[in-house]
Amino acid sequence: GESVGLHLPTLSVQEGDNSIINCAYSNSASDYFIWYKQESGKGPQFIIDIRSNMDKRQGQRVTVLLNKTVKHLSLQIAATQPGDSAVYFCAEIRHSSASKIIFGSGTRLSIRP
């Protein structure tokens, strides 16, 4: 099924601290996951991806963790900076099914100075 966002959850983090944003995905058959960042007035921007045969992937200041048992995805941002303020959402894809992409509803990350 698809997630529906009635209220956008907000995470407030002190500048310099680490941020952890969570996402529950819906389809156990999904085999590919992406985290996107969307700044105000802009389109989504790819951050990092992970395939279902992995449980962790690291990028520059970001780490994605995948727990297939509970269908949970998380994005960790190290040393959060003001420029990290945005809405973050995950997306799941099942490549065997015409690659239909389903986006989560998103979490707003707010940085306190």
Q: Is 98 in the site for another protein (CB under 8 A)?
A: yes
DSSP notation for 27-69: -TT--EEEEEEE-TTS--EEEEEEETT-SEEE-SSEEEEEETT
The DSSP H or E segment spanning 97 is none
Q: Is 4 in the site for another protein (CB under 8 A)?
A: yes
Among positions 53, 69, 96, 99, the unique one binding another protein when judged by CB under 8 A: 99
- In this structure, the strands spanning 32-38 and 107-112 are unpaired
Among positions 13, 21, 66, 93, the unique one binding another protein when judged by CB under 8 A: 93
Which is nearer to another protein, 41 or 82 (by Cβ)? Answer: 41
Interacting residues toward another protein by CB under 8 A: 2-6, 8, 32, 34, 41-46, 49, 89, 91, 93, 98-101, 103-106
